[in-house]
Amino acid sequence: MIEVKNVSYTYMKKTPFEKTALQEISFNVNEGDFLAIAGHTGSGKSTLIQIIAGLIDLENGVVEIDGETIKNKTARRKIGIVFQYPEYQLFEETVEKDIAFGPRNFGLSESEISVRVNEAMKFVDLEESLKNVSPFELSGGQKRRVAIAGILALKPKYLILDEPTAGLDPKAKKNLLAEIKKLHRAGVTIIFVSHAMEDIAVLANRVIVLAQGKILFEGEPRKLFGQAEILERAGLLPPPVSQVMQKFLRAGFNVSTEIITLDEAEKELKKIFSAR
């Protein structure tokens, strides 16, 4: 379990540029969760996940991983973090070396590294023949998969992804989301930062909405999307499916406000129209 207790954070404290990014944030992430963190630009999402990963030193509050402070290396090693646009962090001469970089830093044996590189490449659907290619010769979607494979090769128990589908075309986006889902099914606990409510709707079992560094909502996605006021305050829109269902509701149809996926909407609408 990840425990975040009373975390506050201010950038450039005691300077004219002082900026409070997080205020009194507390929540837990349970093993097996697929937790989404949503919020308007500047709401504190990236700051929060960097704190969870132990990349920003805390002055106020505590982060514990399975009961151990994130200040300890053993706790930090349970967390993998994929930054937004991770492909910009590729730097090795070959795909293989790039993916092996983290495991090598962990001091693993060469045979173990090789097994992990192969597994990670397979997981993200990168062909073995790409191993000796320079990452810079790959397409955008492939580069991103190399970057993610590099994190997977560390076998994190908890995986944090900061807007992993930003800038991908629809097909690459769909593939990546399917891979993340597969990882979750394989037992990895996921923290997924996203603006895309339709992705959150189909993937996450819990969502935290941040606004101006505070938690505005925490709970099941389907409980969030009917709450127009909270969404408005957070600067977010419900997924298109929910918007359509709300239009039906306002037009006097007896539809559920908790419908959030296309499949659910199809069933509900068939029910209404077959009753006529």
Judged by beta carbon distances under 5 to 8 A according to partner kind, the member of Mg ion, ligand ATP, none in contact with residue 43 is: ligand ATP
- Asked if 162 contacts 84 with a C-beta cutoff of 8 angstroms, the reply is yes
Among 25, 36, 46, 152, binds ligand ATP (CB under 6 A): 46
Q: Indicate whether 43 belongs to the interface with ligand ATP (CB under 6 A).
A: yes
Whole-number minimum distance, CB 89 to ligand ATP, in Å?
16
3-class DSSP assignment, residue 249? helix
Among 29, 45, 194, 197, binds ligand ATP (CB under 6 A): 45
Binding segment for ligand ATP (CB under 6 A), chosen from 43-51, 85-93, 145-153, 174-182, is 43-51
Q: What is the DSSP string of 172-192?
A: HHHHHHHHHHHHHHTT-EEEE
Q: Indicate whether 46 belongs to the interface with Mg ion (CB under 5 A).
A: yes
Judged by beta carbon distances under 5 to 8 A according to partner kind, the member of ligand ATP, Mg ion, none in contact with residue 21 is: ligand ATP
3-class DSSP assignment, residue 231? helix
Distance CA 146, CA 120 (A): 9
Q: Indicate whether 102 belongs to the interface with ligand ATP (CB under 6 A).
A: no
Among 39, 135, 164, 238, binds ligand ATP (CB under 6 A): 39
Q: Indicate whether 11 belongs to the interface with ligand ATP (CB under 6 A).
A: yes
Q: How far is CA 125 from CA 84, 122, 131, 202, 238, in A?
A: 20, 5, 12, 22, 32
Helix (H) or strand (E) holding 80: strand 79-82
Q: Indicate whether 12 belongs to the interface with ligand ATP (CB under 6 A).
A: yes
Which alpha helices (H) appear in the chain, and where do they start and end?
A: 45-52, 73-76, 95-105, 110-123, 140-152, 170-185, 197-203, 221-224, 228-234, 240-250, 262-274
Determine how many CB atoms are found less than 10 A away from the CB of residue 271. Answer: 11
Among 3, 27, 42, 133, binds ligand ATP (CB under 6 A): 42
How big is the site for ligand ATP, counted in residues (CB under 6 A)?
Answer: 12
Q: Which residues of the chain form contacts with ligand ATP (CB under 6 A)?
A: 11-12, 19, 21, 39, 41-47
